[in-house]
A = this chain, B = another copy of it.
């Protein structure tokens, strides 16, 4: 049973603050192991990948090959049900259209002094995409990570995915083909991250690494950061639903459980202004849980991290919403746009009664890689900008240098940087 907090209770602020501070991640001491694996891959290249895959994935890459061949991908595509390929293609196309709108515009202009300034955007040259093995090997995540890279103009999109006991979800290969992934390798764990960052005989290094993974993958990403770029380190998923009593409690319960089934550390929160509605949703959650294949995971998540927050009115709950800064926020009310305008911190917002968050996971078009654990206060979901970088451009002629130079010389003097001042002064014969 989830926790219930009432805004009217005298100790609400303390209880809400404690709720916000709850840690949902198990901290594991995997950093040293990741460091050692990286060191071995840097030293021994492919041989280290083969040895670690034998040990951790129980597969012999010396015979299966590190690279996944085009023929294997062809076979995966041929064996996939047509309806699944169609759904993936629809998702791919919608992700592509939405992300194409995110392409930044270069800006080059001349100011009133005649100084030319500019910002120029270029794509990262190569990207490595980590895809987990086992049950978390999601084709939708391949699309969400790879399609924006292709939209940005990244030439080389390299995918790594482990195949424990030789098993590999063929749909991730289908998604990779649909997304335009250029190369796929059958490796996972910290060793795959090391190979992407430093390269081996078979895998050329990339410039940036993205994609979710277990604690070893996350530790390895943190370690190689600097040598390559990395995306955010994703935590367990979460949903916050703002709902009035006019909703069908079964719908809202279904949405809370869609989040809870991801992971026992996932979090589902309902904010409502109606106690009876809150109770109806809670009862519906308990009922629906019984029918779920993943009920063990979902009930652990709901029991340990679920919450129902009763507020006096939904409008006044916006400060709480912004403090929670949820990865996913559903606004299921009669006039959702009014509340929408007051939300500042959220990864993605799903507006109205007919927009379950799950649409955003698959076919909405927006990205499902979103900031977790309150980081929507300072960061954004994955976008085309994550695969691009901006270069500043500055151009002065002799006239402009004469106008701006003296101020630069004065500031260099004030900062005690004489050589800075000299590099301007020498051009002005000062």
Contacts and interface: CB of A to CB of B under 8 A. Distances in A.
A300 B420 CA distance: 17
A288 B423 CA distance: 11
Contacts of A377: 124-125, 207, 229, 389
A392 B367 contact: yes
A411 B354 contact: no
A419 interface: yes
B352 A396 contact: yes
Contacts of A367: 392
Contacts of A406: 87
A247 to B, nearest CB: 11
B261 A419 contact: yes
Contacts of A276: none
Interface in A366-400: 366-367, 370-371, 373, 375-381, 383, 385, 389-398, 400
A422 B351 contact: no
Interface of A: 83-84, 86-88, 90-91, 97-98, 101-102, 107, 109, 111, 115-117, 119, 122, 124-125, 135, 138-140, 171, 207-208, 226, 228-229, 233, 250-251, 254-255, 257-258, 260-262, 288, 292-294, 298, 336, 340, 343-352, 354-367, 370-371, 373, 375-381, 383, 385, 389-398, 400-401, 404-408, 410-412, 414-424, 426-427
A348 B394 contact: yes
Contact of A366 (B101, B233, B394, B411): B394
A138 B415 contact: yes
30 contacts: A87-B406, A87-B407, A88-B411, A91-B407, A117-B365, A138-B415, A139-B415, A336-B395, A340-B393, A347-B391, A348-B391, A348-B393, A349-B394, A350-B394, A350-B395, A352-B396, A354-B427, A358-B408, A358-B412, A358-B420, A358-B421, A359-B405, A361-B411, A363-B404, A363-B408, A364-B396, A366-B393, A366-B394, A367-B392, A380-B391
Given A91-B411, A140-B411, A293-B418, 8 more contacts: A122-B345, A138-B415, A251-B423, A261-B419, A343-B391, A347-B391, A349-B392, A352-B395
B344 A394 contact: no
A346 B364 CA distance: 35
Given A229-B379, A378-B208, A258 B417 contact: yes
Contact of A400 (B354, B371, B381): B354
A255 B417 CA distance: 12
User: Looking at A109, A348, A354, A385, which has the most chain B CB atoms within 10 Å of its CB?
Assistant: A354
A378 to B, nearest CB: 3
Contacts of A117: 98, 364-366
Contact of A355 (B255, B260, B380, B395): B395
Contact of A351 (B140, B375, B393): B393
Contacts of A410: 83-84, 86-87
Contacts of A363: 404, 407-408, 411
B84 A414 contact: yes
B364 A115 contact: yes
User: Looking at A83, A336, A359, A401, which has the most chain B CB atoms within 10 Å of its CB?
Assistant: A359
A250 B370 CA distance: 51
Nearest to A81: B414
Contacts of A373: 226
Contact of A417 (B261, B352, B378): B261
B351 A419 contact: no
Nearest to A359: B408
A340 B106 CA distance: 14
Contacts of A122: 344-345
B90 A119 contact: no
B419 A257 contact: yes
Contacts of A345: 122, 125, 389, 391
